[in-house]
Amino acid sequence: MNKPVQPQQSRLVADLVDNRLLDFLEGENKKWVEVDNRMAEAVSYLQSVVESGGKRLRASFCYWSWYGAKVTEDPTYEPQDHPEDLSGIVDVCAALELLHTFALIHDDVMDDSNMRRGQTTVHRGQIQRFTEKAWTGESRRFGESIAVLVGNLGHVYSDILMANAPLEARTIWNDLRVELNLGQYLDIRSAAASDLDFETAKQVAWYKSALYTIYHPMQLGFVMSSNTTPGISRSVARFSEPLGRAFQLRDDYLGIFGDAERLGKPIGDDLRDAKPTELMAYALQHADQDQRLILSKVGSADLVESDIAAISEVIRATGAVGYVEQEIESLIVSAERVLDEMPYATVAKQALSSLARYVASRNV
């Protein structure tokens, strides 16, 4: 498979969304600086995470679903000729990215991660700040508290950007937020209870990641288009369901076998935290007695590089990596078959096809 390159269509959407986020957060920063500069710090920390990178995949799937449905309904439609429509969908896309930022900041606290996108995580940066200033109290509690609040601020701002969306879109938005939180709950509970079976792994992947990464963003885009053509909504679901699972399978693979420098975060944390993944479920199911002994170390917080290397080798030896790669390819092919038949504009279908292949083969 060729080296994955983020599709140009995704970068085009990223420019629209990043400009909106910059404008929105700078406005909020200016507003709170005038009230109390200390309060504006929280906005700045949120802005720093938002601007640290990210593929804007959720925004891209949302935008191209909207565009495909809009142009299907009216082949002469040009977004730039309808600034109110464009503003509306960009706000929804920006809301998705702020919600994602909220999830990342909180996830880093829960996993006690040091790095995200190549920079120090919010809670770690605040722990360091507390120590350097010799403030009163407990540095860890301070750092994690600040990170939780900064993440919450991203959540609130995402709701503000969704305020003018139609009722049907806000209903999907509410479902998305509930599912994201409950999926994260199941993830943490399953890791603690060592529930590493296939069914749990699929449940966690579906609710924690697949639904809010691809399925619901595409639903939101379709709803924002106001297209009432029969059958499109079901096609969107049939395309996004396998693609969402493929995304999470690749994410799980990268969590163990990815390149830390490219990912911008350490490799091996999923093993230390005993994350329930299909990769691990397959390995456990197919491991022999000696291999199971090595895999029994999964979940130990003090795993060193040699332990991670040994566990990774066992995972490969059981055929788990081959299983995941075959599943990803099968899921992408399934999604592409649906896309071929979808009554979406050709340009949108080309963009969604490129995004699907990127999701399947990305290395970041």
The amino acid at residue 95 is A
Cα 35 to Cα 57: distance, rounded to the nearest angstrom: 35
Encode the chain (364 residues) as per-residue pLDDT tens digits.
344 557 777 788 999 999 999 999 999 999 999 999 999 999 999 999 999 988 899 999 999 999 999 999 899 999 999 999 999 999 999 999 999 999 999 999 999 999 998 899 999 999 999 999 999 999 999 999 999 999 999 999 999 999 999 999 999 999 999 999 999 999 999 999 999 999 999 999 999 888 999 999 999 999 999 998 888 999 999 999 999 999 999 999 999 998 888 877 778 888 998 999 999 999 999 999 999 999 999 999 889 999 999 999 999 999 999 999 999 999 999 999 999 999 999 999 999 999 999 998 888 7
Write the DSSP symbol of residue 64: H
- Helices then strands (H, E): number in the chain? 17, 2
- Whole-number pLDDT of residue 93: 98
Q: What is the CB neighbour count within 10 angstroms for residue 15?
A: 10
Give kind and range of the element (H or E) at residue 330. helix 320-341
Cβ neighbourhood burial of 57 (10 Å; 0-12, 13-18, 19+): buried
- Whole-number pLDDT of residue 28: 98
Cα 216 to Cα 247: distance, rounded to the nearest angstrom: 14
Half-sphere exposure of 279 (CA within 13 A, CB side): 30
Length of the chain: 364
Cα 59 to Cα 16: distance, rounded to the nearest angstrom: 10
β-partners of residue 115 are 120
| 64 in Cβ contact with 197 (< 8 Å) | no
Tell the CATH topology of 8-361: Farnesyl Diphosphate Synthase (1.10.600)
| 89 in Cβ contact with 66 (< 8 Å) | yes
Alpha-carbon distances of 99 from 93, 94, 160, 172, 194, rounded to whole Å: 10, 9, 11, 14, 28
Write phi, then psi, for 287 (nearest 5 degrees). -80, 145
| CA-based nearest residue to 179, from 159, 146, 207 | 207
DSSP string, 89-136: HHHHHHHHHHHHHHHHHHHHHHHT-SEETTEE-HHHHHHHHHHHHT-S
